[in-house]
Structure 1
Amino acid sequence: MCGRYTLLADEKQIAQTFGLDQPIDLNQPRYNVAPGQNVLAIIHDGQKKRAGYLRWGLIPSWAKDEKIGYKMINARSETAHEKPSFKHLLSRKRCLIPADSFYEWNRDSQEKQPKRIQLQDRRLFAFAGLWDKWEQNGQKHFTCTILTREANAFMQPIHHRMPIILSKEQMNAWLEAGEQKPEDVHRFLSTLEPEDLQAYDVASYVNSVKNDDETCIAPLV
């Protein structure tokens, strides 16, 4: 799964990496992004890429209660094309969620040791995401979820699931392919090879969503 991540890159880095030609409203580096918060995301509006904020925790457009979003921070890529909540989103509401690391808690540790996980070269990347618009009784929310997959060999000792991380070429294919059949998107996701990762232990300070500063990423010594 993916339940916390970081985004420390500045506006220039993000614009260059994702090919954006518009200002990005970045308040500050994020050391502990958590579900329920607004997260930077990138969509394609049919003409160009657009960056904005979505609330992390998908509320399907048909849902009666917005609280369902707290249960839908992740979507299993293996079955998303079969699920009512995600099927039509795979066709036309795909998004990129920029990040430069994510956290996972070692499942084999009695104290659930948190680890910060990055690409080997520590570059900025994107999670494959889905988004939707929910509107009811005068309330309107734009929300998202992060797609996950079975863990690769590196991640298996830590957790049995991992987020889908897209390379630069895959980012463009994910966003710009236009409307597709859910089954075709499923096949695309199933062919992706996981990126090479590295990890190190961090303090339990990161466990609290109230903590969002450099201490979260400090190596545990």
Structure 2
Amino acid sequence: MPAWANTEQARELPKNTLNAKSESIFEKPSFEPSILKQRCLVLVDGFYEWQHVGKDKIEYRVHLKSNGPFALAGIYAIWHNPQTSMLEPSFSIITTPANELMEEIHNTKKRMPLILSADQERDWLDPMSTEKIKSFFKPFDSNGMQAQKVKNMGDQIQLFA
């Protein structure tokens, strides 16, 4: 939620700001102030994407081969809610074009989150130029990633290769 949003915009903007495309992030008023000065790490141990096969959607859990936690590149904003006087933090995950693995899974939009290597994490948070920020906007190497289909078993979820 950008800091400049009014109450009406605050109801609609979250639907359109979950992800921020790296190719247009500097052009969007919702993202431009944050990409310059409010970058963050979104810590995860995996994420989910859906593959479209005909009318079916197959869910995959995607993670690094190291099986440990990793960071997605994010941006954040703090919105002042005029109705409650509360400060409400929010974030968006930056996306890039898909790598080879993600092209097969996220086969309609062919996107993926911007995964940072451990060496990039601290640098992502430091002040830097627009050109330096753009140098991060590359898909993560698919050789370092794995994906498993997720099979829904009623109330239980079972992963299998």
* CA–CA separation in structure 1 for the residues paired with 2:29 and 2:40: 18
Following the alignment from structure 2 to structure 1, what is the Cα–Cα distance between the partners of residues 101 and 93? 20
The normalised TM-score by structure 1 is 0.63
Distance 1:91 1:77, change over 3 A: same
Out of 107, 131, 141, the residue aligned to residue 194 of structure 1 is 141
Match of 2:130 in 1: 182
State the identity as a percent.
32
Matched, 1:155 2:99: no
1:133-179: CA deviation from partner (whole Å, max 9, x where unpaired):
1013123210000000000011111110000111111101101x22x
Deviation at 1:121, TM superposition (A): 1.8
Please say if residues 88 and 182 of structure 1, whose CA atoms lie closer than 8 Å, have aligned partners that are also in contact.
no
Instruction: Report matched runs for 1:104-143 at 5 Å.
Output: 104-137=49-82, 138-143=85-90
**Aligned AA (2:4):** W
Does 1:89 find its partner at 2:34?
A: yes
Task: State the alpha-carbon separation in 2 of the partners of residues 220 and 193 from structure 1.
Answer: 23
Aligned to 2:122: 172
Query: Residue type of the partner of 2:120?
Result: Q
Asked whether the 8 Å contact 2:96–2:139 carries over to 1, the reply is no
1:66 aligns with 2:16: no
Contact 1:126–1:171 (CA under 8 A) maintained in structure 2: yes
Partner of 1:219: 159
Alpha-carbon deviation of 1:184? Answer: 3.3
- Whole-angstrom distance in 2 between the partners of 1:145 and 1:131: 6
User: What are the ranges of 5 or more consecutive residues in structure 2 without an aligned counterpart?
Assistant: none
Q: How does 1:14-93 map to 2 (within 5 A)?
A: 59-64=1-6, 65-67=9-11, 68-93=13-38
TM-score, structure 2 as length reference: 0.84
Aligned equivalents of 2:140, 2:60: Cα separation in 1: 22
Bigger proportion of residues as strand: 2
Change (3 A) 1:193 1:202: closer
| Corresponding letter in the other structure for 2:33 | H
Alpha-carbon distance in structure 1 between the residues aligned to 2:16 and 2:60: 23
Name which of structure 1's ranges 82-91 and 148-157 shifts more when overlaid on structure 2: 82-91
> What is the Cα-based RMSD across aligned positions, in Å?
2.1
- Alignment correspondent of 1:32: none
The secondary structure found in structure 2 opposite 1:157 is helix
| 1:205 CA displacement | 6.1
Cα 1:126–1:119, aligned 2, differ >3 Å: closer, same or farther?
Answer: same
* Residue 120 of structure 1: how far off its partner (Å): 1.5
What residue ranges of structure 1 are gaps of 5+ in the alignment? 1-58
